Amino acid sequence: MATRITRRLEALKAEDRAALVTFTMAGDPNYQASLDTLKGLPEAGADIIELGMPFTDPMADGPSIQKAALRALKGQHTQHKTLEMVREFRRDNQETPIVLMGYYNPIYRYGVEQFLKDASEAGVDGLIVVDLPPEHDSELCLPATRAGIDFIRLATPTTDDKRLPRVLENTSGFIYYVSVAGVTGAAAPTPESVERSITRIRAHTDLPIAVGFGIRSAEQAASIGRFADAVVVGSALISCIEHADSVEAGTRDVHALVRDLARGVRQARLATA
């Protein structure tokens, strides 16, 4: 049976448009505000939601997301609270896929088997665990797949044709292409170079390909959405929360930017038709 992620991406492919994937950090700046932001994302235009699991040493994340994780942890956010947030979201929304993104250490401490059981029951659809390579699939990837949770892997500009098949093995849902070498939010991708990389990856897989890292505006989202199956935006949304005058304003600013990004993604292929 197709997962919620696959069903959503196949539906959007039939509409000939890319998905907008939004990233926010669970518990940033506090539990209730983060939940309010989460609940409003689908109506604002998010097709798939990535929810960060706060961690003290987020090696793949730039300053904005690092600070978001620290704000959440300072507010006593935990893995249990992240899953509770997903459960609360699912009471009103059974359609929008949710992917948890983070690092292996908090899952290992929680207990892999218990985490997957709780995540599945809460309504989690996918996992992105950036520091667990395919050589360790037995640790989490394969158990997650058996639990009905997609395990989404990252490919980068330095993932060559020799390494790519290993990265793709056991990956499900979609492949996440990191458009720039470095951490999140560090630099803007060049559409031409990203399109060449997407073409190269498509020769190895039929999985949908999402592109993220460095996309901050509707114009950038539109340029990537012309050829990618999904566009991921995270740091720009986190910045809305960081720089807002109030907690409520942070939520409003996130939703406003998501509406703008969604317009860009939806118009991307219309402009070239």
Residue numbers annotated as active site: 50, 61
Angle in degrees, 0-180, between the axes of helices 191-202 and 218-225, rounded to the nearest 10: 30
Distance CA(168)–CA(156), nearest Å, equals 12
- The rounded distance, in Å, linking the Cα atoms of 268 and 273 is 9
Where does the chain have alpha helices with state H? 4-14, 31-44, 63-74, 79-90, 104-110, 112-122, 141-146, 164-168, 191-202, 218-225, 235-243, 247-267
Q: At what angle do helices 247-267 and 218-225 cross, to 10 degrees?
A: 40
Place of tokens 């996440």: 176
Neighbours of 110 (CB within 10 A): 18
Take residue 262 and report the two structure tokens written for it. 């969604």
